[in-house]
Amino acid sequence: MAPRQVFLQWNVRSVWHKKHDLIFLLNKFKPLACSVAETWLTPSLSFNIPLFNILRCDRSDGYGGSALLVNNRVPLSTLSLPVLDGDMNIVACRIEGITVLSVYISHPQRRFLTTIRDILNSIVGPVLVMGDFNCHHFRWGSNRCDSFGEGLVEILDDLDLCILNDVSKILLVTAMLRAATMALSRPLFQAQTLPFRCATVPEIKSRHPRGGIKNAHRLLKKGKRPKNSTMMR
């Protein structure tokens, strides 16, 4: 049976130290793909997750970074991206007819908007963008707007992208979907015409592997709202 079309996004702030928690979330939700921001990996550091192929964009200083974890039962094709500034980390691939991007921008600069627009303009068909853009706008629940946020919203409007997140106090994490056929309340992919909903999963605070997993079990059971993790299906 093919994996369910579930997508996860997590700003992990060191994927190495939270590997056990990440494995727990992957086993729990069985996503098609998982976007991870702030991986804090260097290019020379090996990092593997069972049953997942990993695409990475690392920084040499061991901070920032972005990764896409793709279920290894699903064929994927990588996308060629332009050479990126160290403050902007993007990886992309095409799976199940959907182009998926994982983005982390540590220090947003207006000149990055041209690169983002060019990348999205080059993609044909459905696209899902997940990541941490470190910018503010009323559109995703911030209490103020900044220059980069305003520029990003212009791109969303020009390219018919819509925000999937629950907008209640979302500050740094946003996910976007472009759809050829779309209702205002329920975006649809052209290829699969699947209704999307965005849910949240608990933030795992413990750095101890067992403590983190137990904490996640308790939070999931209680249905508490998280801060940094997003699930889409």
Q: How far is CA 182 from CA 75, 128, 152, 178, 214, in A?
A: 27, 14, 20, 9, 39
- Please say whether the beta carbons of 126 and 189 come within 8 A: yes
Residue 110 has φ and ψ, to the nearest 5°, of -55, -35
State the average pLDDT over residues 80-92.
91
Both structure tokens of 94 = 């095409």
150 vs 196, which has greater pLDDT?
150
Q: What is the pLDDT of residues 94-135, one digit of tens each?
A: 999 889 999 999 999 999 999 999 999 998 888 888 889 998
DSSP character for 96? T
CA 62, CA 38: separation in Å to the nearest integer? 9
CA 15, CA 144: separation in Å to the nearest integer? 30
Q: What is the pLDDT of residues 203-225, one digit of tens each?
A: 555 444 334 444 434 444 444 43
- Please say whether the beta carbons of 113 and 213 come within 8 A: no
How do the domains of the chain map onto residue ranges? 7-232
CATH of domain 7-232: 3.60.10.10
Sequence letter at residue 9? Q
CA 112, CA 165: separation in Å to the nearest integer? 22
